[in-house]
Amino acid sequence: MEIANLSKNFASIPVFEGLDLSISSGEFVCLVGGSGSGKSTLLNIVAGLDHADGGTVLAPPAAVMFQESALLPWLSAAGNISLALKFAGVPRQDRQQRTQELLNLVRLPDAGYRLVHQLSGGMQQRVALARALAQNRSLLLMDEPFSALDSITRDFLHDELEDIWRATGRTIVLVTHNVREAIRLGQRVILLASDQGSIAGEWRVSDTQRHDAVAGAALAETIRTVLHREVHGLAAVS
Ligand SMILES: Nc1ncnc2c1ncn2[C@@H]1O[C@H](COP(=O)(O)OP(=O)(O)O)[C@@H](O)[C@H]1O
Ligand SMILES: [Mg+2]
């Protein structure tokens, strides 16, 4: 995915001015930034849900997942996944088996029959992830997918998402306002500036920093310092 010199305005207020960003195939990148820094706008542009005002965006077709599962409530968990398989062109006779494989992958092997309201928030996000994977696209864009969940459920889903990323080889771009989450998941953390329309910082995350609480905490502190400067710098001028 290659973004070069991206500009984007809303009502002539710039969100991005000359943003450059490249992400390699198979990479797991986390985007952090203050509220209103343009994280969702960037994902939407990459997904083709919004347009850029200038610059170039080269990205393969993406599957997108949001904070709310946006599952269809009149369908079962399996029905939601199967529908995505249908849209992805998977033949009818293969869909049931493929749906079960995806339910297994997100660790819900026995929940296919359940309606959306019979699933916990964490289970709903697992089904939404299975549905996104059903679209069979190499790029997965996730906009605060775990922000509405309790921390224990979130920790489980972090482990599962890492396993799924390794198993499927997808490129993943995940937005979060949680620096710890970004370090837990990302190979690279990118901080969007709050007022200059570009990138304020970028860090590579080592395996030690990802899995060792002490090493991770030190990096988190570094990133939080820049993030706070961004957010408070903005507050100071407005
Ligand atoms: N559809 C829209 N119309 C007008 N302004 C918008 C729209 N979407 C986002 N914005 C503005 O663009 C900026 C970036 O928003 P957003 O990408 O949602 O930020 P984030 O996801 O980082 O919180 C904010 O100032 C927001 O108010
Ligand atoms: Mg957002």
Does the pLDDT at position 4 exceed 50? yes
Does the pLDDT at position 236 exceed 70? no
Determine the Cα angle at 193 with ends 191 and 194, to 5°: 130
Query: Which backbone phi and psi does 146 adopt, to 5 degrees?
Result: -115, 5
Q: How confident is the model at residue 197 (pLDDT cuts 50, 70, 90)?
A: confident
Does the pLDDT at position 32 exceed 90? yes
Q: How far is the CA of 186 from the centre of ligand 1 (A)?
A: 24
Pick from 7, 10, 53 the residue to mutate for probing ligand 1's pocket: most ligand atoms within 8 Å of its CB.
Answer: 10
Query: Which backbone phi and psi does 32 adopt, to 5 degrees?
Result: -120, 170
Q: How confident is the model at residue 182 (pLDDT cuts 50, 70, 90)?
A: very high
CA distance 107 to 87: 23
Please tell me the number of Cα atoms within 13 Å of 187 on its side-chain side: 12
Q: How confident is the model at residue 238 (pLDDT cuts 50, 70, 90)?
A: very low
For every residue of 165-202, DSSP letters joined together read HHHH--EEEEE-S-HHHHHHH-SEEEEE-SSSSSEEEE
Q: How far is the CA of 177 from the centre of ligand 1 (A)?
A: 15
Q: What pTM did the predictor assign?
A: 0.94
pLDDT, residue 235, reads 56
Closest CA to ligand 1's atom 17 = 38
CB 200 within 8 A of CB 226: yes
48-76 confidence digits (pLDDT tens): 999 999 999 999 999 999 988 899 999 99
CA distance 132 to 142: 10
Percent share of the chain, pLDDT over 70: 98
* Residues belonging to the chain: 238
145-175 confidence digits (pLDDT tens): 999 888 898 998 999 999 999 999 999 999 9
Q: Residue 189 corresponds to which tokens in the numbers above?
A: 């953390």
CA distance 121 to 117: 9
Percent share of the chain, pLDDT over 90: 85
Q: How far is the CA of 184 from the centre of ligand 2 (A)?
A: 20
DSSP designation for 110: T
Cα-Cα-Cα-Cα torsion 179, 146, 130, 153, nearest 10 degrees, comes to: 110
Closest CA to ligand 1's atom 5 = 10
CA distance 185 to 188: 9
Mean pLDDT of the chain: 93
Q: For residue 17, which of 52, 48, 46 has the smallest C-alpha distance? A: 52
CB 15 within 8 A of CB 160: no
74-112 confidence digits (pLDDT tens): 999 999 999 999 999 999 999 999 999 999 999 999 999
Q: Residue 149 corresponds to which tokens in the numbers above?
A: 């969940």
pLDDT, residue 104, reads 94
CA distance 218 to 29: 19
**Using alpha carbons only, how large is the chain's radius of gyration in Å?**
18
Greater pLDDT, 205 or 213: 205
Does the pLDDT at position 234 exceed 80? no
Does the pLDDT at position 36 exceed 60? yes
Q: How far is the CA of 192 from the centre of ligand 1 (A)?
A: 13
pLDDT, residue 233, reads 74
Q: How far is the CA of 76 from the centre of ligand 1 (A)?
A: 33
User: Which domains, from first to last, does the chain contain?
Assistant: 2-61+138-237 (3.40.50.300), 71-136 (no CATH)
CA distance 151 to 36: 24
CB 200 within 8 A of CB 192: yes
Ligand 1 cavity residues, CB under 6 Å: 10, 15, 33, 35-41
